Structure 1
Amino acid sequence: MGQDENTKAQVQSNEGNNKTPKAKDEKIIKDIANYKQVTRYILKNDWKGLEDYIMSKTPNALTCIIVDQSSIFEFIVGIPDVPTPLVDKLLSKVPRNCLQNFARDEGSGYMKYAVSTGKLNLITTLMRYNEELPNIKVEKKDDPNIKDEEKDDLLPVHMAAKAGNRDAVRHLLPKTRGPLGGRQVFVLLKFLIDSNLFDMALALLKYHPMIAGADIGESGKILESLSKRPKAFESGSRLGYCKRLLYQWIPIQEEYNPHPHPPSENVGGDLEKQLSVTSKIQLKKFFLQKIPSAFGSLRQKLKFVLWNNLMELAPSIKSIRDAKIIHEQTLEILRIVCAGAVDILNTHEEAQNVFKKPMFTAARLGIYEIVMEIMNSYFPWSLEFKNKDGYDIFKVAVEHRREKVFNIIFNFPNIYPFFMANIDEKRINILHIAAMSVPSTEVPGAALQMQRELQWFKAVENCVHPTLQDQLNDKDKTPREVFTKEHEKLVEEGEKWMKDTAGSCSVVATLIMTIVFAAAITVPGGSDSRGMPNFLEEPSFTIFGISNALALFSSVISVLIFLGILTSRFSEEDFLVSLPRKLIIGLITLFFSIACLMVAFAATVHITQFHPWKWVIIPTALLGFLPVFLFATLQFPLLIEVFASTYGPGIFHPMKFL
């Protein structure tokens, strides 16, 4: 029956090709009318009417191309909201060989919608009529999003991986049989990494363990893809202090599997008669070893239950756990690919082609995990790599201000002096590079950026030999002269930022000082004929007096500190410690004065209105806490940032990686 329909459709198609120009024009007008009618049903969401209209058409009318665009079949299948039962009935009228042709065509609804959008119900429906669809190669010769070397021999699972549809890949991969092999596996692995499907990429590597050591060129492409994804590694995740603690504490194992207990050899007889002195000692050791293991297993299970409950209550904790899992997966992928690439290296040129570009890309983006793994895999020759500017890996780290990458050098104390004293053909040493101005989006404010630049320059200056500190480059400039010239604009911007911040805060501190001084003269509740306060013996009056005095003293200190910032010289060295320290003290005293002001206000309300309106105490206290909370929320991030940048661990310090 199906062959008869195919033959009939072919005959109709041939007849259509042999028609006169007038007949062809009439056919085009009829096809366009059909297309418009389908569009009307879709715009009205009249799926029942569309179904009746489809069932009344012949297979040839559904699958023939309309005005060199697409067929009605492709148009309907590509609609996002089309019901699956409607697609099922539509496919019942389409011959199986047409499905294969649609799968081969880059504009088909199957490739554009079913696989790319990852709708499993539509994929399942399509495969019910043709089980070989996952194994049909797809031609993507005009797709600008796919490179030339990746356009041949692509399968639907490749397109699903390219689109980042995890469910579609999981559904299609087991059903992809013979065609998936050789270079196609590398392309699939690269697509999975590019789409951040690292769990499936790791599973593919473990399922095909020979991938990593099969092709040296493909291994380099995999490493290059990993080096362009800093968020896939711990070094690229920007977590705050609290999230960083959660990241370190949260477990990532799904369950705790203790080692199975060996079976006991005493399976029969009287135990008291069989046990000798040695066996009793062994039994004692057995309980000493296994009981802590059992308690450890219980502790781990309780730990996972606790964290699972916390993740249910706070989705942000779950996102941190998911990020940590991704970081572990990418690290394992990195180790597998590097180990496989080293096993098949033959020459130093091959090693450069595989490791050099990913290594410098990772150093530029601050992914120290990749840099360290490549160094360990191809040590010590990996340290000889140079980029197009003639910079080694540590100069690139200084050039782009990647302290974690530069700190790797402390793991190699024997070669540390060599890299610090290395000078290129332009007489530029590493201190000249540290003197260059590098804008940063990670440090807020021009003043803090200037402080960070000074910290980098000082740290590198302490690492190099004293003779390099005064060495002239090809333009006859020392590193200090280069630093001054490069950071002239940043010094001006930092001065403006500091003055604006200090001016705004000093206005607030001055208002607080004026208010609390007036409150100290006109005490709440009035005074008697001798000038003594009427509520002097009240505890709330004591609280008012202490908090008002503290608010006055702290606001005066804050005004003086901010005045010191406004009258500063704003030299380069002032941005290192002096100005940030003044800003820290000014913000702390300003916050303390606001808190004391609210306490004095609450005490005043208690003194004057406690007896007639006792109920106003609680809401007044809550509203008095609101300004303190707002100030802490808005200004404390800046205060913490300045404090951490000024009194933190610094730029360079020995660290152990991986």
Structure 2
Amino acid sequence: MGEETRHGEVEVDDIERGNYQQSKKREMHLKLYRAAKQGNWDVVKRICETKKGKEIINHRITKRGETALHVAVSEGQTDFVRKLIKEMSKKAIKARDKLGNTAFCTAATSGNVELAQEMLREVKDLANIRGIKRMLPIYVAALLGHKKMVSYLYDQTSDKALKDAERIDLLVTLIDNDIYDVALRMVEKHKPLAAARDGNRETALDALARKKIGQARAKCFNLLCQFSNLNWSCGADQKSNPLPRKAYELLRLLCKEVLLNVSPRELIFKAAEQGNLELLTILIRWYPRLVFEVDGNNYTIFHIAVLHRHRDVFRLIHEIGSSKRNNLLHLAAKLSPQNKLAAISGAALQLQHELLWFEEVKKVVRKSYVEAMNRANQKPGEIFMEEHKVLLETGAQWERETANSCMLVATLIATVVFVAAFTVPGGNNQDGNPMFLHKAQLQVFAIADAISLIFSVSAVLTFLSILTSRHARNDFLQSLPNKLVLGLGMLFISVVAMIVAYIAAIFIIFKHGLLRIAIPIAVISVFPVVLFIWHQSRLLWDLFRSTNMSKCLFKPKKPTLFYVGASGKATKKKV
């Protein structure tokens, strides 16, 4: 009985001791909570000096699972937070409350950039730890419209932390909350975002469309939406123009990226028909060659402007202005998009194509445009040289390397066939005459050898003229491409003739009972010719097309405005 009593007393003591400890712990938590809320560091300092003080400051101290850091951050106690995070463990700094938010998420919610900076100095990856509903701090800040916080966190958030779907969600949220500078940086870095859709099937353009963009831009935007399968259109009564500069930069960039997936050719005729001068100007600035495009009726945008009596559009034939006072020839002097240049083999032919465009535009504009200055005091010719400087250097290098390689081959062929001319197959008789003088094979050998020698030497001289050329801008228009075509053509003929001479020599040597050896060798000898054609056919074709077909590149296949009918009389085409 006595033992049971003593055992019961021990249990009561343990319970009372436990209750006391719990009570003491709650008391410390309460002190810590009040200190964090008020920013009273002296209280925390005294707590840290106690036996378990260092451990207590890492505890969750509220029913919502918040630490003292959560409380201090929510109250904006910057100095307190700076001192507290130096005492806390990194694990406690990263701790989440019951909602899933870290203290850093709370800082992002408050928009206090100074707090966020202090915390990131201590723990670098806080910006990449997700909070409530798996949202990153930058997304939370964007939802609440904290521009400075978003701008700061954009540089601190790892690119890998954002998934593709989250990026477009963030971009749309940024636009909705007028945070255009960060939105612009996002699209510049991730171009596919321009056409991506969020969970609500909205694009960045859809989000911008909800803003007031002014009547002229509304017309431009409606047409772009129509061709981009966007489900929004601007109201006609939007006469204000309140968007900031960064928003318009974003709009231009989004439109440009969308146009990469939409044929500008489709847009330009619709814009001309509606008299949408603003969109036409944008399109022609980006794609100067569009002024020469024709629709199904062989109408250019200027024909359509006349047809629909759009005076402002028709004026573009004389002046397509820009904020930099660039006329049409200035625009034609700019470098073509890379996807257009990539379709042409070799930098030299690319430069020739650019020159052809420039010269053709020069023919159709006023003579005064040739010497006209833009705002940068540049003439079209100066812009052409500046824009094509790298292409000119690359083209000259490409021409030299191609000519040098081909000249080496032509020299080797010339050496071989020259020696072969004095080494007759079958040898000579006692009189010094060839043994097979009257044989057809020897005649074929002699003719083929002579052809190979003449054409290989001619090829060497042609390639030498390319190497010694000045490689000036206008040389790439006709002179250098023609020489390259001529040189490659003569090199090809010399290779073929050399192989023919070799085959003829084989048949002379193996004529008597050894045709079974001569025929396979002759067949195999054709392989180098086939290999030459296989490797050089693309270049040869591109050179031929560029040098010959370029002369009629801009000539109409038939008259656009008038044509001669079956009766032989000039007939007006029906409108």
TM-score using structure 1 length = 0.45
CA–CA distance in structure 2, aligned partners of residues 603 and 553 of structure 1: 18
Partner of 1:474, secondary structure, is coil
Kept in 1: contact 2:264–2:283 (CA 8 A) = no
Counterpart residue number, 2:423: 522
> Are residues 1:412 and 2:298 paired?
no
> Are residues 1:640 and 2:534 paired?
no
Counterpart residue number, 2:382: 481
CA–CA distance in structure 1, aligned partners of residues 271 and 324 of structure 2: 31
Question: How far does the alpha carbon of each residue in 1:335-387 deviate from its partner, in whole angstroms, 9 at most, with x for none?
Answer: 9965997997752869x99x987764465x4x67454157437832334327x
Question: How far does the alpha carbon of each residue in 1:18-65 deviate from its partner, in whole angstroms, 9 at most, with x for none?
Answer: xxxxxxxxxxxxxxxxxxxxxxxxxxxxxxxxxxxxxxxxxxxxxxxx
Counterpart residue number, 1:433: 331
> Are residues 1:382 and 2:276 paired?
yes
CA–CA distance in structure 2, aligned partners of residues 189 and 342 of structure 1: 12
**CA-atom RMSD in angstroms:** 4.4
The within-5 A match list for 1:2-81 is none
Partner of 2:504, secondary structure, is helix
The within-5 A match list for 1:194-209 is none
Kept in 2: contact 1:219–1:341 (CA 8 A) = no
Kept in 2: contact 1:374–1:382 (CA 8 A) = no
CA–CA distance in structure 2, aligned partners of residues 348 and 537 of structure 1: 96
The within-5 A match list for 1:268-279 is none
Counterpart residue number, 1:148: 169
In structure 2, what residue type is equivalent to 1:522? T
Kept in 1: contact 2:206–2:232 (CA 8 A) = no
Counterpart residue number, 1:535: 436
The alpha-carbon deviation at position 471 of structure 1 amounts to 0.6
Q: How many residues align?
A: 344
Counterpart residue number, 2:43: none
Kept in 2: contact 1:561–1:582 (CA 8 A) = yes
Counterpart residue number, 2:491: 590
> Are residues 1:393 and 2:393 paired?
no
In structure 2, what residue type is equivalent to 1:394? I
Kept in 2: contact 1:411–1:654 (CA 8 A) = no
CA–CA distance in structure 2, aligned partners of residues 190 and 533 of structure 1: 86
Distance 1:633 1:430, change over 3 A: same
The within-5 A match list for 1:166-565 is 217=206, 338=227, 346-347=235-236, 360-361=256-257, 365=260, 369=263, 371-373=265-267, 375-376=269-270, 379-385=273-279, 391-398=281-288, 403=289, 406-408=292-294, 411-414=300-303, 415=305, 418-420=315-317, 421-438=319-336, 440=338, 442=342, 443-565=344-466
In structure 2, what residue type is equivalent to 1:418? R
Aligned counterpart for 1:624 among listed residues 525, 544, 557: 525
Partner of 1:648, secondary structure, is helix
Question: How far does the alpha carbon of each residue in 1:617-641 deviate from its partner, in whole angstroms, 9 at most, with x for none?
Answer: 2321222111111111122211212
Distance 1:648 1:358, change over 3 A: farther
Kept in 1: contact 2:291–2:300 (CA 8 A) = no
CA–CA distance in structure 2, aligned partners of residues 637 and 578 of structure 1: 20
Of 339-348 and 585-594, the range deviating more from structure 2: 339-348
Kept in 2: contact 1:407–1:653 (CA 8 A) = no
Counterpart residue number, 1:572: 473
Kept in 1: contact 2:448–2:498 (CA 8 A) = yes
CA–CA distance in structure 2, aligned partners of residues 613 and 633 of structure 1: 32
CA–CA distance in structure 2, aligned partners of residues 148 and 655 of structure 1: 50
CA–CA distance in structure 1, aligned partners of residues 541 and 396 of structure 2: 20
The alpha-carbon deviation at position 525 of structure 1 amounts to 1.1
In structure 2, what residue type is equivalent to 1:145? A
The alpha-carbon deviation at position 491 of structure 1 amounts to 2.7
In structure 1, what residue type is equivalent to 2:326? I
CA–CA distance in structure 1, aligned partners of residues 237 and 272 of structure 2: 10
Partner of 2:458, secondary structure, is helix
Give the gaps of 5 or more residues in structure 1.
1-67, 69-104, 107-140, 153-185, 195-215, 222-333
In structure 1, what residue type is equivalent to 2:283? I
Distance 1:604 1:427, change over 3 A: same
In structure 1, what residue type is equivalent to 2:332? A
Give the gaps of 5 or more residues in structure 2.
1-95, 97-132, 135-160, 174-196, 211-222, 242-247, 306-312, 559-575
TM-score using structure 2 length = 0.51
Distance 1:458 1:534, change over 3 A: same
In structure 2, what residue type is equivalent to 1:148? D
Distance 1:404 1:142, change over 3 A: closer
- Identify the structure with bigger relative contact order (alpha carbons < 8 Å, sequence gap 6+): 1
Distance 1:479 1:337, change over 3 A: closer
The within-5 A match list for 1:603-614 is 603-614=504-515
CA–CA distance in structure 1, aligned partners of residues 466 and 171 of structure 2: 60
CA–CA distance in structure 2, aligned partners of residues 362 and 151 of structure 1: 16
Counterpart residue number, 1:176: none
In structure 2, what residue type is equivalent to 1:393? L
Distance 1:418 1:466, change over 3 A: same
Counterpart residue number, 2:104: none
Q: Identity rate of aligned residues, in percent? A: 32
CA–CA distance in structure 1, aligned partners of residues 201 and 443 of structure 2: 72
Distance 1:220 1:376, change over 3 A: farther
Partner of 2:287, secondary structure, is helix
Kept in 2: contact 1:455–1:576 (CA 8 A) = yes
Partner of 1:477, secondary structure, is coil
Partner of 2:472, secondary structure, is coil
CA–CA distance in structure 1, aligned partners of residues 231 and 553 of structure 2: 33
Question: How far does the alpha carbon of each residue in 1:449-499 deviate from its partner, in whole angstroms, 9 at most, with x for none?
Answer: 322221221122123221111111223222112323443443333222211
CA–CA distance in structure 1, aligned partners of residues 258 and 556 of structure 2: 20
CA–CA distance in structure 1, aligned partners of residues 440 and 200 of structure 2: 73
Distance 1:345 1:362, change over 3 A: closer
In structure 1, what residue type is equivalent to 2:524? L
CA–CA distance in structure 1, aligned partners of residues 396 and 388 of structure 2: 12
Distance 1:348 1:577, change over 3 A: farther
CA–CA distance in structure 2, aligned partners of residues 397 and 374 of structure 1: 10
CA–CA distance in structure 2, aligned partners of residues 431 and 648 of structure 1: 23
In structure 2, what residue type is equivalent to 1:578? S
Of 533-542 and 547-556, the range deviating more from structure 2: 533-542
The alpha-carbon deviation at position 536 of structure 1 amounts to 2.2
Partner of 1:541, secondary structure, is helix
Distance 1:413 1:530, change over 3 A: farther
